[in-house]
Structure 1
Amino acid sequence: MKMQINGKAVEACGGEVFGIKNPATGELIEQVPHGTEEDVVFAVEAASSAFASWASSSPQQRAGVLYRAAEIARQRKDQLAFLLTQEQGKPLVEARNEIEGFAHVLEYYCGLAGNLKGDFIPVPGNGYAFTLKKPLGVCAAIIPWNMPALIMGWKIAPGLISGNTLVLKPASNTPLTNLTLASIFGEAGLPAGVLNVVTGPGEIVGESLVRSPEVRKISFTGEARTGKRVAELAACGMKRVTLELGGSDPMLVCDDADLESAAAGALRGRFYNCGQTCTAVKRLYVFESVAEEFIKKLEAGIKNLKLGNGLDKNTSMGPLNNRTQWEYVKELVAEIKEKDTGKIITGGKVPEFKDSEKGYFFEPTLVSDVPGDSRLLREEVFGPLLPVVTVKGLDEAIGKANNTCYGLGASIWTKNIDRARAGCEQLNAGIIWINQHLKIAPEVPFGGVKESGFGRENGPEALSEYLETKTIMLKT
């Protein structure tokens, strides 16, 4: 599968390729070009050349292209989901939902096409002022491997509908679905050069994109350390930046919560996509008066999860996406066992089933008696490990939940409106759920605080990230 620059499938300038493997089997799926700095230059030039024409088209014309792309993606949902599962590892049902989510995001921004307008402002004693909303120009989107299709939609839909052109860099582990979706835009009528895809490592392709003087905005989703590097480089060119840098989301379970519902929410919130989600439940704080009952319910649900290849219809949790994450999870569990820094209630090892040794599988793991300085509570753990901490009350739960450098999401589970309000006001997070966790609709703004980044994706707010305001003063 080749990169896409200026509407054409192309090889890398250096001629090198790298392989994409199925994380469940280790099998080679496809080879893609190892992009170079020269490839980035070509892609940015193509986007720059296409900008004037695309920006001058009407928002309704642009919406027509996005709507057709969404329609084609839905028609090919099963094929796209199969490809996504092959390269990412998630179960097919999750992959299908992600493709549906991608299409829904496109359709949502089609509906906002008519909102791309400025304001009329009377200025007493000095006539009137008008504001115009203008696209920024060439934008770069850097995509992670955990939700490649959905996050591609989050970035390119508001960018394209606003009249910008884009260069997309997929994650090196999961570029195939992004390349296929990009080709669908060409079928839908997107002019050549408006959307370009360059595959390759972040230290070459990503850095070249961020450094390019023609790129006016970067939207990056990934780890905080890389995000800080992006912000540093972008500052040199005064570029617009949106950073979604992950999190360590807390879930607070009060003593008046519906424990069945909360246990089901924690199960899905932690182990969906094998725990590889930015807004996954990564820390669980439970009132001690209900902790024993709640943990038993959660343990029973975990034991019912079926691990396996995501392509098997009965699989409810697939493998980790890559060896780095797999080794990291094993290291954390080994440390718990060696240093006696927690009690493993269930899980805690590589599973034993047919062909499990070929993939990056690890059992869903529940850990109690976790000390406050545990790495499970301090780091963003991308994997199927869930630490449980008991607390005496809400103040203690909120204090411990806020004791992190991250601030992406959080949830509070209670039937008491005052407790819910206190959680919403006091929890340091960009999005707070009440009696639910993880679900994010394209209609609502999404982003974090502290080291979880800045800027917002989704909702009308995302459009402002891709538009410049020009003010015109008129003397009458």
Structure 2
Amino acid sequence: MSYEAELKLFIDGAWRQGEGDRAPVINPATGQAIAEVPLASAAELDEALEAANRAWPAWRATDVEARGAILHKAAALLRERAQDIGMLLTQEQGKPLPEAVGEVHGAAQMFDYYAEEAKRQGGRVLVRPTGQRSIVIPQPVGPTATFTPWNFPIYLLAKKVAAALAAGCTVISKPPEETPGCTGAMARALDDAGIPKGVFQLVHGVPDTVSRHIIGSPVIRKISFTGSTAVGKHLMKLAADGMKRITMELGGHAPVLVFDDCDLDKTLDMIVPQKFRNAGQVCVSPTRFYVQEGIYDAFAKGFAERTAKVKIGNGLEAETRMGPLANQRRLPAIAGLVEDARAKGARVLAGGEAGDAGFFFQPTVLADVPNEAQAMNVEPFGPLALMRSFKSEDEALHEANRLPFGLAAFVFTENGRRANRLGDGIESGMVGINTFAISSADAPFGGVKESGSGSEGGVEGLQSYQVTKAIHQA
């Protein structure tokens, strides 16, 4: 199926071919280039900054109902175009088409949610002597820069942009160069919905060059980044020079604690599809499976049997349940983690090999993985399931909290008291108990420790683009 996308930059209300170099867009299912994306020049980045700065006073003064109407219209356009946008996403990123189309609908939900949540934002009046007033009000922080990754390119972009626009901020977004068609389609939806000139810009470029240029500008007052912990720390240092506010949604290494009182078959039927969703390229992907020793062998056997039935292939094919990795560089990285674990005593129960073409890697299950294995300590970000047994609840909790990451964790148990204890005791921004449904428009999404700071989603996501002002009048 042909790839049909007009790849351009969107600056100051205009679509541009770009003055800089161009980068290839690769279909990971074939390994072949399907297009070229324009990279913004320094002059174009300056134009984007000037436009965001110029448009901000009028946008922040725009009635919240009017802002919301534009966001609702953009959401409606995304839904109307979801199938076509999903086709672009699959060809650029690799995930199965139903997952891609679902992601577009998730992005639309973000725009609808924040169009309404912004209307519910208010301040408070403090008690003062008669004739005096003190009020506390939220205001938009100002021009904002967003940086988003390729694993959920349109959903993660929408999560940031919808909240920032609803709050009254202008935005410059740098989505990933790997997936310019689907993210450009979101920008087109905003343009067609009537977003005023200069309120939203979309640029591509060499990541470090663009981030240094934009973050270094005094125009930008807030940065929101989703990506690796290493890059997040780098951007935090750049932001520190200008005392810019930040939201950082960084890497994870999600533990899954499986107790012997769970419904084993039901649990496995939930876990295996979730593990290999988006080929494991999910920041909250269940990865480290700690299974109580009494059911460990049955769990491992059932996991491997279900994994062997996962159909891998081109995401445009109806029977595909897992597509390729998004980048060629991930193939040797995943293979290296598997070999390291095997050398340190892990057993390969399923998969373990790369494919013959494209960027495919088999869904892989490793049992008896020691903590010394590299994969147990660094985020695999691929289709690797790592498992080992535990005896007691205290041991399981210790293992869950062992790493410096704390984005998501999951628990499967029918014991309510245990669920409460682990919900409290696990050091993680989000905990799913007998569920993987931890990301929704109305819920905060963010980590602790080296998994980041701040939250996206929910009222917390909107408030991250606001500052607090106290006004005292006598």
Match of 1:7 in 2: 13
Indicate yes or no: 2:54 matched with 1:49. Answer: yes
Are 1:279 and 1:438, in contact at CA under 8 Å, matched by a contact in 2?
A: no
Match of 2:271 in 1: 266
**Take 1:38 and 1:252, find their aligned partners in 2: how far apart are those partners?**
51
Once the two structures are superposed, residues 374-419 of structure 1 have per-residue CA deviations (whole angstroms, 9 ceiling, x without a partner) of 1111001110011101000211011011100100000110000111
3-state SS in 2 of match to 1:471: strand
Are 2:341 and 2:375, in contact at CA under 8 Å, matched by a contact in 1?
A: no
| Residues 341/438 of structure 1: CA separation in 2 closer, same or farther (3 Å cut) | farther
> Which runs of structure 1 show a deviation greater than 3 angstroms over 4 or more consecutive aligned residues?
none
Indicate yes or no: 2:385 matched with 1:386. Answer: yes
Q: Say how many residue pairs are matched.
A: 468
Are 1:36 and 1:204, in contact at CA under 8 Å, matched by a contact in 2?
A: no
Match of 1:128 in 2: 133
Match of 1:354 in 2: none
Cα offset, 1:120, TM superposition: 1.6
Q: Pick from 345, 351, 371 the counterpart of residue 349 of structure 2.
A: 345
Code of the residue aligned with 2:134 in structure 1: it is A
**Take 2:180 and 2:438, find their aligned partners in 1: how far apart are those partners?**
24
Match of 2:25 in 1: 20
Match of 2:471 in 1: 472
Q: Pick from 219, 235, 243 the counterpart of residue 238 of structure 1.
A: 243
**Take 1:246 and 1:60, find their aligned partners in 2: how far apart are those partners?**
36
Alignment of 1:411-450 (within 5 A): 411-437=410-436, 439-450=438-449
Are 1:410 and 1:437, in contact at CA under 8 Å, matched by a contact in 2?
A: no
**Take 1:13 and 1:45, find their aligned partners in 2: how far apart are those partners?**
17
Match of 1:315 in 2: 320
3-state SS in 1 of match to 2:354: coil
Cα offset, 1:125, TM superposition: 7.2
Are 1:367 and 1:387, in contact at CA under 8 Å, matched by a contact in 2?
A: yes
Alignment of 1:75-86 (within 5 A): 75-86=80-91
| Residues 142/87 of structure 1: CA separation in 2 closer, same or farther (3 Å cut) | same
**Take 1:206 and 1:129, find their aligned partners in 2: how far apart are those partners?**
39
Are 2:341 and 2:374, in contact at CA under 8 Å, matched by a contact in 1?
A: no
Are 1:280 and 1:438, in contact at CA under 8 Å, matched by a contact in 2?
A: no
| Residues 382/130 of structure 1: CA separation in 2 closer, same or farther (3 Å cut) | same
Are 1:322 and 1:360, in contact at CA under 8 Å, matched by a contact in 2?
A: yes
Indicate yes or no: 2:215 matched with 1:216. Answer: no
Match of 1:198 in 2: 203
3-state SS in 2 of match to 1:444: coil
**Take 2:429 and 2:136, find their aligned partners in 1: how far apart are those partners?**
29
**Take 2:274 and 2:103, find their aligned partners in 1: how far apart are those partners?**
16
3-state SS in 1 of match to 2:372: coil
Give percent identity, aligned residues only.
37
Cα offset, 1:124, TM superposition: 4.5
Please give the root-mean-square deviation of Cα atoms over the aligned residues, in Å.
1.3
Worse-matched range after superposition: 21-30 or 279-288: 21-30
3-state SS in 2 of match to 1:380: coil
**Take 1:117 and 1:151, find their aligned partners in 2: how far apart are those partners?**
26
**Take 1:21 and 1:259, find their aligned partners in 2: how far apart are those partners?**
40
3-state SS in 1 of match to 2:405: coil
| Residues 126/243 of structure 1: CA separation in 2 closer, same or farther (3 Å cut) | farther
3-state SS in 1 of match to 2:276: helix
Match of 2:3 in 1: none
**Take 1:249 and 1:125, find their aligned partners in 2: how far apart are those partners?**
55
Match of 2:330 in 1: 325
Once the two structures are superposed, residues 51-101 of structure 1 have per-residue CA deviations (whole angstroms, 9 ceiling, x without a partner) of 111111111100000000000110011000000000000000100110010
**Take 2:357 and 2:366, find their aligned partners in 1: how far apart are those partners?**
26
Cα offset, 1:282, TM superposition: 1.4
Cα offset, 1:177, TM superposition: 1.0
Cα offset, 1:235, TM superposition: 0.9
Are 2:431 and 2:438, in contact at CA under 8 Å, matched by a contact in 1?
A: no
Indicate yes or no: 2:185 matched with 1:169. Answer: no
Code of the residue aligned with 2:376 in structure 1: it is L
Cα offset, 1:438, TM superposition: 5.1
Q: Structure 2 stretches of 5 or more lacking a match?
A: 1-6
Code of the residue aligned with 1:10 in structure 2: it is R
Cα offset, 1:42, TM superposition: 1.2
Are 2:19 and 2:41, in contact at CA under 8 Å, matched by a contact in 1?
A: yes
Match of 2:285 in 1: 280
Worse-matched range after superposition: 192-201 or 217-226: 192-201
3-state SS in 2 of match to 1:473: strand
Once the two structures are superposed, residues 214-244 of structure 1 have per-residue CA deviations (whole angstroms, 9 ceiling, x without a partner) of 1000000000011001111101101010000
3-state SS in 2 of match to 1:215: coil
3-state SS in 2 of match to 1:370: coil
Q: If the length of structure 1 is used for normalisation, what is the TM-score?
A: 0.96
Are 2:430 and 2:438, in contact at CA under 8 Å, matched by a contact in 1?
A: no
Code of the residue aligned with 2:16 in structure 1: it is V
Q: Structure 1 stretches of 5 or more lacking a match?
A: 352-356
Cα offset, 1:368, TM superposition: 0.7
Cα offset, 1:248, TM superposition: 0.3
Code of the residue aligned with 2:29 in structure 1: it is A
Are 1:116 and 1:162, in contact at CA under 8 Å, matched by a contact in 2?
A: no
**Take 1:218 and 1:281, find their aligned partners in 2: how far apart are those partners?**
28
Code of the residue aligned with 2:465 in structure 1: it is Y
